[in-house]
């Protein structure tokens, strides 16, 4: 596990005649720097799944459950619910993404995006009632990418809430139909990362003064290389 100061410690990787510099991010939901990034990433994943349905699910307020118990019951019921919807709708590329939010009263509340050809609203409500006892549910069909993007912005803009023993969100394996992030970074996969005792800009300056050429940059990192493939990037002490 890497340690450093979020958004300040520089991270360094080298492979062959290439080096990559980026900033350490702790990736915690509680971090003021990382939380907005994580929310943005989650929204991007949600939109990329091309959902055609939005469900809003609540728990049964008549049951004497604590918020944590209600969240546990809810996430357990979600698994059964989606399995049933998959079978019932016979959707070949069925997929889902759900997030748990906290209502003002402190109880869980779930938004789920699905790729699920039609299952009737009444049947969905009846199934949720059977699983949880709750009857309040909202079902929206999504008919365009623009509508999907609007819903994602509207319903997935809050930070998913961490109840005791339950996850903040869940994504089915089939949700992402293509994964561009992973192919782009294939070259760097498995390459050890090191924190260095430099700020990001100091590390960049050190690589430039070592005669390396910037090759590509993204919002998060810069890649450098030597024209001469026999040269290897400089080494630095760990922070
Ligand atoms: Zn952070």
Please tell me the distance between residue 61's alpha carbon and the centre of ligand 1 in angstroms.
35
Per residue in 113-144, pLDDT (tens digit) is 999 988 888 999 999 999 999 976 789 999 99
Q: What is the pLDDT of residue 182?
A: 52
Please tell me the distance between residue 24's alpha carbon and the centre of ligand 1 in angstroms.
8
Please tell me the distance between residue 172's alpha carbon and the centre of ligand 1 in angstroms.
26
Please tell me the distance between residue 60's alpha carbon and the centre of ligand 1 in angstroms.
35
Residue 1 has pLDDT above 80, yes or no: no
More confident residue, 8 or 69: 69
Cα–Cα dist 88/80, whole Å: 12
Q: What is the pLDDT of residue 30?
A: 87
Please tell me the distance between residue 31's alpha carbon and the centre of ligand 1 in angstroms.
5
pTM strictly above 0.85: no
Question: Which CATH architecture fits 50-175?
Answer: 2-Layer Sandwich (3.30)
Start-end of CATH 3.30.70.1910 domains in the chain: 50-175
- Residue-averaged pLDDT of the chain: 90
- The H-assigned helical ranges of 94-221 are 121-132, 145-155, 180-184, 200-209
Please tell me the distance between residue 88's alpha carbon and the centre of ligand 1 in angstroms.
42
Please tell me the distance between residue 123's alpha carbon and the centre of ligand 1 in angstroms.
42
Residue 158 has pLDDT above 90, yes or no: no
Partner residues linked to 139 by β-bridges? 55
233-238: Cβ within 8 A, 24+ apart: 233/14, 233/17, 233/18, 233/19, 233/207, 234/19, 234/206, 234/207, 234/210, 235/14, 236/12, 236/194, 236/196, 236/197, 236/198, 236/203, 236/206, 237/196, 237/197, 238/194, 238/195, 238/196, 238/197
Q: What is the pLDDT of residue 180?
A: 52
Please tell me the distance between residue 28's alpha carbon and the centre of ligand 1 in angstroms.
6
Please tell me the distance between residue 69's alpha carbon and the centre of ligand 1 in angstroms.
29
Q: What is the pLDDT of residue 178?
A: 63
Top mean-pLDDT range of 32-36, 200-204, 224-228: 224-228
Q: How confident is the model at residue 197 (pLDDT cuts 50, 70, 90)?
A: confident
Residue 179 has pLDDT above 60, yes or no: no
Please tell me the distance between residue 1's alpha carbon and the centre of ligand 1 in angstroms.
14
Per residue in 11-34, pLDDT (tens digit) is 999 999 999 999 888 888 889 989
Q: What is the pLDDT of residue 18?
A: 96
Please tell me the distance between residue 132's alpha carbon and the centre of ligand 1 in angstroms.
36
């Amino acid at each position: 596990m890497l340690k450093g100061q979020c958004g300040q410690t520089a991270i360094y990787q080298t492979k062959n005649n290439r080096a990559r510099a980026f900033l350490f991010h702790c990736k915690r939901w509680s971090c003021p720097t990382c939380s907005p990034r994580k929310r943005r990433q989650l929204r991007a994943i949600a939109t990329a799944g091309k959902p055609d349905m939005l469900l809003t699910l609540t728990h049964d307020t008549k049951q004497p459950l604590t918020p944590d118990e209600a969240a546990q019951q809810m996430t357990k019921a979600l698994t059964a619910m989606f399995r049933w919807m998959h079978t019932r709708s016979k959707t070949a590329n069925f997929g889902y993404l759900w997030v748990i939010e906290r209502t003002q009263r402190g109880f869980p509340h779930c938004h789920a995006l699905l790729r699920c050809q039609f299952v009737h609203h009444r049947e969905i409500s009846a199934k949720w009632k059977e699983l949880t006892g709750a009857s309040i549910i909202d079902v929206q069909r999504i008919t365009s990418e623009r509508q999907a993007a609007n819903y994602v912005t509207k319903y997935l803009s809050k930070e998913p809430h961490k109840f005791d023993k339950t996850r903040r969100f869940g994504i089915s394996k089939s949700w992402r139909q293509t994964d561009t992030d992973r192919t782009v970074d294939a070259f760097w996969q498995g390459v050890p990362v090191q924190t260095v005792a430099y700020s990001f800009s100091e590390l960049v300056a050190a690589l430039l003064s070592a005669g390396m050429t910037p090759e590509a940059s993204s919002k998060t990192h810069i890649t450098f290389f030597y024209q001469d493939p026999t040269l290897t990037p400089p080494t630095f002490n760990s922070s």
